[in-house]
Chains A and B, each alone.
Chain A
Amino acid sequence: MIDSRLQRFLRSPVVWPLAGLALLLVVNLIHNPDFLKIGVLEGHLFGAPVDIFNQGARTFVVALGMTLVIATGGVDLSVGSVMAVAGATAGLCITSGHTSLPLVLAATLGAGALAGLLNGILVAYAGVQPIVATLILMVSGRGIAQFVAHGDVLLIKHPGFEYLGKGFLLGLPFAAILAGLLYLVAQAALRRTAAGLFIEAVGDNPVASRFAGLATARMKCLAYLLCGLCAALAGAMDAANIGAADPYRSGENMELDAIFAVVVGGTALNGGRFTLAGTFAGVLLLQTLSPTLVFLGVPPPVASVPKAILILVVCVLQSDRAGRWLRGLLPKKEVA
């Protein structure tokens, strides 16, 4: 009885990032008892938790798309570059005088959709391995972004667009609300319909799902398309947040952060199983980790060391071999 509960607890994917998050919160609260305090300034909420949600919004939007791609058994390495392309597109539209917000957003998201579609066609229809297919855009995407932005950082002065990244709605950061809405929509669209199941089926066994009558290639292509859209939205939010489209730095290392959040959240890297709640918890863990490391005196450029170690540990723990070891440990404990 206890054994089965323990095993179920160990198997539930969301538990791990939540436990990590709790640990980080404890460390932070010991260091700074006011860590969770939320204040009100000029009608806006502020405080460390608000910052975490605000900063995490972009990572979450990217990770959401990444979750779908990873669930189909693929991966998208181009998200960081697509963010830069999307930001540069928005910057180009605004600086060249096309300032109507729907137009800017359509152009930005269109760029992302195009990038996602290219990845999707290469993976789903040409049968190229996902790492390689998305590597192409990862390499050339930054070049395209620099080309679109004429090699400059484009300053964006557009109140409507900037609202996307630094606006406040009812005292809450708009970016976080947007990410939350996206989460609810995705959860409803994937889990209240069969779409999520289809994606998992494609990731689990593409041949079997094709024989079962699923349009496997179309499903895969759709996942990459959605991932591209998500990355473009995140790119727009990033450009809006800093008030500039930076083709060099925007979305830098985003692919690792997104994969990190997805993997830590318990989505299987070889596909066939995904959890959006886990990804959400993974992003929260990641975003809480950054300020914690600063508190602990780790300079920001070095922060990738503990992140890398954590991701390696999670990978090893999730592997079958480690699973066998853990399962081997459990009965022994009972005997003792």
Chain B
Amino acid sequence: MKPALQRRLPLIVTAAVLAVLYVAAGLNYDHFFSLGVAADLFTDNAALGIAATGMTLVIFSGGIDLSVGAVVGFTSILVATLVEKKGVPPVLAAALALGVGTVLGAGMGALIHYFRQPAFLITLAGMFLMRGSAYWISTDPTGLSHPALTKLTLWDWPLGETAALKLSAVVLLAVLVAGGVIGHFTRFGRNLLALGGSEQSALLMGLPVASTRIGVYALNGFFASLAGLALMLNSGSGNPRDGIGLELDAIASVVIGGTLLTGGRGNILGTLLGLLIFGVIQSAIRFDGRLDPAWTRIIIGALLLGFILLQRLLGRLGRRA
């Protein structure tokens, strides 16, 4: 197999799986092939997609962040409480939440880097810290009634007569583009991939390992908070339970998208495809109405297993070649 083809094979397989799923769902369910359904794929999975973009960059560097789901819940309830109960202007509340997410990410990155601790453990602790803090603010959801926020919730970008992109979907697209540029066209992105490929080599090449690692966790914290804002606007309320298990779905999207979990190789485009696979399965199950929603998790688990084994297989072929 040609190396170039072999490198792109996971992405090609992902695209093929997406196409097969989409066509199969479209042939089975009436009205599945419509612009409205396609636009909803982006709107419904906006928070997941934003978080998955940040997660892709973290995984580029060979790390992992399990705290993103909890940061989403924390952001959602923090902003809703500040705006609705304390009368803080929405812009200020959102800026504060984004700041908290970024600082938390940077802190976790620093612990991981300077104390040589496993990323999953530090971010698992971060996850419990933020989920607990979210419940600390309030254990009950808070509805949004501030005029500016309701306006943002209702805002959409019409794509035709029956389809429209909500604000969260527009943010998702912007984040995907930003993530693609950061990951593939900047020095920071190349440093990330170098760090994920081999930390030792990155260090010996004189790359700024510490600032790259701390930077990517900070960036991911920022994206996680942004995902929290998107989810809050989508649901029209702040809920400390928002985003439970989101980190797992985000990791699944990244892996299904062909990004190597050991770091050093990957693609933001793949993450978008992984996200859409997720969305198509969910919409198909919703369209069907008879299938148990539990199937989403089982199918995602099976896909995850398949793609991880494919990665291992390609890795072995690559070494032999």
Contact = CB atoms under 8 A, between A and B. Distances in A.
Interface string B85-117: 000000000000000000000000001001111
Nearest to B137: A302
B282 interface: no
B152 interface: no
A332 to B, nearest CB: 22
Contact of A143 (B64, B125, B126, B297): B297
Contact of B118 (A256, A269, A309): A269
Given A302-B132, A305-B128, A321-B114, A312 B122 contact: yes
Contacts of B136: 299, 302, 305
A140 B132 contact: no
Contacts of A138: 248
Contact of B128 (A75, A256, A269, A319): A256
Contacts of A309: 125, 129
Contact of A142 (B124, B126, B139, B297): B297
B251 interface: yes
Contact of A270 (B118, B293, B309): B118
B30 interface: no
Contacts of B132: 301-305, 307-308
B6 interface: no
Contacts of A253: 128
Contacts of A143: 294-298, 300-301
B292 interface: yes
Interface string B117-161: 110111011111101110110010000000000000000000000
Main secondary structure of the interface of B (DSSP, over half): helix
B301 A137 contact: yes
Given A126-B309, A309-B129, A136 B120 contact: no
A326 interface: no
B125 A316 contact: no
B137 to A, nearest CB: 10
Contact of A299 (B122, B128, B139, B249): B139
A301 B139 contact: yes
A316 B114 CA distance: 10
16 contacts: A127-B312, A128-B312, A135-B304, A136-B304, A144-B297, A147-B292, A147-B298, A151-B294, A305-B128, A305-B132, A308-B128, A308-B129, A311-B125, A312-B129, A321-B114, A322-B115
Given A143-B296, A319-B116, 4 more contacts: A136-B304, A139-B249, A147-B298, A256-B128
